Amino acid sequence: MRRIHYMDKLFLDFLQPDQVLNSPEELLAYGKDWAKGFKANASLVLLPKSYEQVQQIVKCCYENKIALVPSGGRTGLSAGATATNGEVVLSLEKLNKLISVEPTQRTLTCQAGVITQKIQETAKENGLYFPIDLASAGSSQIGGNVATNAGGLHVIRYGNTRHWILGMKAVTGTGELLELNGELVKNQTGYDLRNLLIGSEGTLGIIVELTLKLAYRPKSFHRALCASDSMENVLSVMGSVREKFERVSAFEFFTKDCIECVLKHHPMRNPFETIHPYYALIEIEDLSESEEEQFQETLLGIFEEERITDVVVAQTSLQSEELMLLRERIGETTSSHYTVHKNDLAVPVRHIADFIREVEERAPLLFPDCPVLLFGHVGDGNLHVNILKSDALEVEDFFELCHKNDHDMFTIIQQFSGSISAEHGVGLLKRDYLQYCRSEAEITLMRGIKKVFDPAGILNPGKIFAPERA
Ligand SMILES: Cc1cc2nc3c(=O)[nH]c(=O)nc-3n(C[C@H](O)[C@H](O)[C@H](O)COP(=O)(O)OP(=O)(O)OC[C@H]3O[C@@H](n4cnc5c(N)ncnc54)[C@H](O)[C@@H]3O)c2cc1C
């Protein structure tokens, strides 16, 4: 792969000078996402303003064998949008137009660089709902959400991003513009290429436009926070609540260390008088007055059975927001205030208590003196294991220890038939561990698919799997 050490004239044939950035600050800012432990080393940053310019860039890179890193809001946590090897960063930030909302068919069409929160707000303005919701929604782009098949808080009710993508336009590794599925709900005409691109982390194509499905807007969200002494009880609460209420839209979990960490770094109120070992945040949509009462009675019954040790039901929208913030701030707090190694794991829901027990037993042995924060979308079997660096370790030694011990962590995952990446993607972070959850046969097929979409191997090379030697 050719490295570029100077302002390459190639791109100025079809881009304006302000669309080609190369100052050290810009290369650093655009060359990195939120993943820790990887150094940015980008050669150039390109800011195309049209689909044609994206095609021109890709064709130019294809002809000159220049590696490209597609870049969205750079909130990714697997280093998928990090350029470590002198690549050119192609940022979608100027392709940020909302194209149309069609209330009759409940769709929204937009360019890939639109910020996720803007989609949520536009849906709301039209009385509709975009249910993909992440703590990073204020910065992530819809193209990035699709490229990572993002999950978030509401997967338990609405599924992940894949479920909300009707149509897509994307540029392949040869510069061809594909228009996939348009606005069709039904279209059984061969392979669904759109679904291959969803979750492909910029390795098969550059997504430039999307038609999203929108949902009916819930009128209200009802939230409660439960405290418990055991993970088994947290899961049994989930069973009881889901048995009685159909519209459970979030069931989130976190431990004592997580709430202590958030309260330490944010001026927030502890909703309980003491700190408890485990917490479950429950969100249900559209409860009628009588259902609200039933919700409170259900929780009271669970309390009397001693499956929970305390509970607070939000009475106002402010309280409801505060409860959700306690959960949402965990990821951002660990990233902003600590050196952290993040593991985003999944196991079948029925194994989650056993898996957590195993992690709680093993983690202190694998990471002595490092606080281990467990939280996640437990209703989907998705657990975030955040390991914080201890003061005794140098940063490099810490990451070396984490990458070495990930093998043990992923062996446990394998035993539970789980996944080494539930929703953050493989990127560079999980690349060398893919075999813990995908077979050789699957990886060979994936490599073959990449070659078809990207014959020169210029799209995000080294992400998901190491580039093949020529
Ligand atoms: C505080 C915080 C909370 C988070 N919570 C969640 C969560 O709950 N659930 C979850 O799933 N994730 C979560 N994330 C991770 C992250 O926000 C998601 O992965 C998000 O979807 C990434 O979008 P982005 O636009 O920032 O993409 P980027 O980080 O820019 O890129 C991510 C990947 O997609 C590729 N890419 C980006 N745009 C395109 C495009 N247009 N075409 C082709 N490839 C592209 C990149 O090359 C890269 O491989 C969180 C992150 C943070 C910082």
Determine the pLDDT at residue 2. Answer: 44
Residue 89 burial (C-beta neighbours within 10 Å; 0-12, 13-18, 19+): buried
Give yes or no for residue 419 having a pLDDT over 50.
yes
Distance CA 157, CA 37 (A): 34
For atom 9 of ligand 1, which residue has the closest CA?
152
CB 93 within 8 A of CB 47: yes
> Could you report the per-residue pLDDT of 349-376, keeping only the tens digit for each?
999 999 999 999 999 899 999 999 999 9
Q: Is 81 in the pocket of ligand 1 (CB under 6 A)?
A: yes
Q: Which residue lies with its CA nearest to atom 6 of ligand 1?
A: 134
The one-letter code for the residue type at 409 is M
SS3 141: strand
- Please say if the pLDDT value at position 146 is more than 60: yes
Contact 337, 240 (CB under 8 A): no
CA distance to 15, 222, 286, 295, 404, per residue, from 315 (Å): 54, 9, 14, 13, 47
pLDDT of residue 459: 98
Q: What's the pLDDT tens digit per position in 45-79? A: 999 999 999 999 999 999 999 999 999 999 999 99
- Residue 46: strand, helix, or coil: strand
Q: Is the CB of 144 under 6 A from ligand 1?
A: yes
Ligand 1 atom closest to the Cα of residue 70 is 47
- Ligand 1, closest atom to CA 145? 21
**Atom 36 of ligand 1: nearest residue by CA position:** 144
Measure the CA–CA gap between 241 and 280, rounded to whole angstroms: 11
- Report the separation in Å between the CA atom of 313 and the middle of ligand 1, taken as the mean of its atom positions: 32
Q: 459-470, pLDDT tens digit by residue?
A: 999 999 988 765
- What is the per-residue pLDDT across 256-294, written as a single tens digit (0 to 9) for each? 999 999 999 999 999 999 999 999 999 999 999 999 999
| Pocket of ligand 1 contains residue 133 by CB under 6 Å | no
Distance 271 CA to ligand 1 centre (A): 31
The pLDDT tens digits of the residues spanning 219-236 come to 999 999 999 999 999 999
Give the pLDDT band (50/70/90) at residue 8: low
C-alpha–C-alpha distance, residues 151 and 133, integer Å: 8
Question: Residue 348's beta-bridge partner residues?
Answer: none
203 lines ligand 1 (CB under 6 A): no
Work out the pLDDT band at 5, boundaries 50, 70, 90. Answer: low
Q: If you average pLDDT over residues 380-398, what whole number do you get?
A: 94
Question: Does any ligand 1 atom lie closer than 6 A to the CB of residue 136?
Answer: yes
* CB of 202 closer than 6 angstroms to any ligand 1 atom: yes
How far apart CA 188 and CA 192 sit, in angstroms, is: 8
Distance CA 415, CA 426 (A): 20
DSSP-derived pairing of the beta strands 382-388 and 310-313:
unpaired
Question: In this predicted structure, what is the pLDDT of residue 37?
Answer: 86
Q: What type of residue is 344? A: D
pLDDT number for residue 114: 98
The predicted model gives 150-179 an average pLDDT of 97
CA dihedral 162, 464, 342, 254 (to 10 degrees): 30
Residue 1 pLDDT greater than 80, yes or no: no
Q: What is the pLDDT of residues 422-436, one digit of tens each?
A: 999 999 999 999 999
**Mean pLDDT over the full length of the chain:** 95
Could you report how far apart the first and last alpha carbons of the chain are, in Å? 10
Query: Which among 292, 298, 294, 326 is positioned nearest to 311, based on CA atoms?
Result: 298
SS3 assignment, position 459: strand
